[in-house]
């Protein structure tokens, strides 16, 4: 089965994770794909393939040499993002793409336009897997799974290719920030690993945001508006005031590169109670901490203005920049870069404006930078992935393993 055929099989499974659920996996349906993967791994000859009670999948392609070779791991996540429906996905293949706008759904007039997504024209002549415009595709990260599985199958079917132990791991709940929580680093047994969870072909990432979440609860006092003078405290208006005290240009839509941001992801409320949910991001740890301090200072100011307890803040760190943990092991990056160059793939070494399981795993003792999958426009209706890019990523994983032998 070709890599894109594996991928099209995996996207049939609804594996959408659920935010703010205090268990792993956050949705039991993720285990359906996990079970499928275990069976497929066993069928191809991976004897120790298994799923644990939390839905994590592990397996080993055993070494076929007596050489003392470091144990390398490859990891991808099974869940899809809550941002967009992830069930009843209807992928289609645009063969020999001609560089024009792509009509995803004629009935609903959903069109992927080159003027919005200029990178489409980089793939003229390629075969693109797209959605029907009503769901995400799931290339994040079922493409990574398909690529790892294809790599494993090639090594098993070609025992003449020398390699050390290759560890495989598939995680649940990455999209809701919990993918690494119960990952068994010791049991996994790799010296280092790569997550296959990036975007455009050639991306190689070992820097990511420091990340935190902030949940703001604002309490007000509701009085009949006809007699509210000097009595009503409208929590909605205080919420607006809170937001307006944050730097207006430090939002996702106004930042790129190494610039951090505050992102208001949810707001709902009434006069008596309003809740704001933020995510806070910055590559620089000092700036990251200052951003969190600003949230606390705004809350303190508003509590002085409206009364103690009016604004409550719950701040939680999510993950940290993996650069600190990767830097002592830069051979991992150099190997991946060399593998790309050997395959005429231009390395694109960029900071992740987000996070991966690898960030958490790096702090858990498993150095784990991030490799491309070849996909674009993750988490939305315009998600797509070129088949040729997926095939090239499979070659890349194989080349990394080969270089690990030398």
Residue 119, marked binder = no
- Residue 172: C-alpha distances to residues 17, 49, 75, 137 (Å): 8, 16, 11, 17
Q: How far apart are CA 137 and CA 383, in angstroms?
A: 6
72 and 190 Cβ atoms separated by less than 8 Å: yes
Instruction: Point out the catalytic residue in the list 79, 173, 205, 383.
Output: 79
- Residue 403: C-alpha distances to residues 334, 337, 374 (Å): 10, 11, 21
- Residue 342: C-alpha distances to residues 147, 180, 224, 401, 403 (Å): 18, 32, 73, 13, 10
Other C-beta atoms closer than 10 Å to the C-beta of 107 total 8
Question: Is 162 noted as a catalytic residue in this protein?
Answer: no
Q: Write the DSSP string, 56-108.
A: -EEEEE-----S----EEEEEE--B-TTS--SS---EEETT--SS-EEEETTT
168 and 61 Cβ atoms separated by less than 8 Å: yes
Q: How far apart are CA 238 and CA 243, in angstroms?
A: 9
Instruction: Point out the catalytic residue in the list 141, 153, 174, 207.
Output: 174
Q: How far apart are CA 167 and CA 74, in angstroms?
A: 6
Strand partners, 47: none
Residue 331, marked binder = no
Q: How far apart are CA 369 and CA 359, in angstroms?
A: 8
Q: How far apart are CA 95 and CA 157, in angstroms?
A: 29
Residue 197, marked binder = yes
Q: Report which DSSP code applies to 252.
A: G
Q: What is the dihedral of CA 61, 64, 67, 71, to 10 degrees?
A: 0
Question: Is 174 noted as a catalytic residue in this protein?
Answer: yes
Residues 207-233 as b/e (b if ≥16 CB within 10 A, e otherwise) read bbbbbbbbebbbbbeeeeeeeeeeebb
**Binding positions:** 77, 140, 175, 197, 379
**Binding positions for Zn(2+):** 77, 140, 175, 197, 379
- Which residues participate in catalysis according to the annotation? 79, 174
């Amino acid at each position: 089965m070709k890599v894109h055929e594996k991928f099209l099989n995996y996207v049939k499974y609804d594996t959408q994770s659920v935010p703010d659920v205090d268990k792993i996996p956050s949705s039991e349906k993720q285990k359906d794909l996990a079970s499928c993967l275990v069976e497929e791994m066993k069928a191809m000859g991976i004897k120790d393939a298994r799923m644990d009670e939390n839905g994590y999948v592990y397996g080993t392609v055993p070494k076929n040499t007596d050489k003392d070779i470091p144990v390398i791991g490859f990891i991808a996540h099974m869940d899809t993002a809550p941002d967009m429906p992830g069930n009843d996905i209807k992928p289609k293949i645009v063969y020999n793409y001609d560089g024009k706008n792509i009509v995803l759904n004629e009935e609903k007039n959903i069109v992927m336009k080159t003027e919005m997504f200029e990178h489409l024209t980089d793939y003229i002549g390629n075969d693109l897997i797209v959605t029907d415009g009503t769901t995400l595709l799931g290339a994040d990260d079922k493409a990574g799974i398909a690529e790892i599985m294809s790599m494993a199958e090639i090594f098993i079917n070609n025992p003449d290719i020398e390699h050390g132990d290759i560890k495989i791991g598939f995680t649940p709940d990455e999209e809701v920030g919990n993918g690494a929580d119960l990952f068994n680093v010791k049991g996994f047994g790799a010296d280092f690993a790569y997550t296959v969870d990036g975007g455009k072909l050639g991306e190689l990432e070992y820097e990511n945001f420091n990340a935190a979440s902030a949940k703001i609860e604002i309490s007000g006092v509701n009085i009949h508006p006809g007699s509210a003078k000097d009595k009503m405290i409208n929590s909605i208006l205080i919420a607006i005031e809170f937001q307006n005290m944050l730097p207006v240009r430090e939002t996702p839509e106004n930042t790129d590169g190494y610039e951090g941001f505050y992102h208001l992801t949810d707001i709902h409320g009434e006069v008596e109670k309003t809740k704001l949910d933020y995510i806070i991001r910055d590559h620089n740890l000092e700036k990251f901490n200052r951003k969190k301090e600003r949230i606390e200072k705004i809350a303190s100011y508003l509590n002085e203005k409206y009364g103690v307890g009016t604004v409550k803040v719950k701040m939680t760190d999510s993950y940290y920049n993996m650069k600190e943990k990767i830097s002592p092991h830069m051979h991992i990056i150099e190997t991946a870069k060399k593998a790309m160059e050997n395959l005429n793939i231009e390395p694109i070494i960029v900071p992740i404006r987000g996070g991966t399981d690898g960030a958490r795993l790096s702090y858990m003792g498993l150095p784990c930078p991030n490799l491309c999958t070849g996909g674009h426009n993750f988490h939305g209706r315009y998600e797509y992935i070129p088949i040729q890019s997926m095939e090239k990523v499979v070659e890349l994983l194989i080349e990394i393993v080969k270089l690990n032998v030398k």
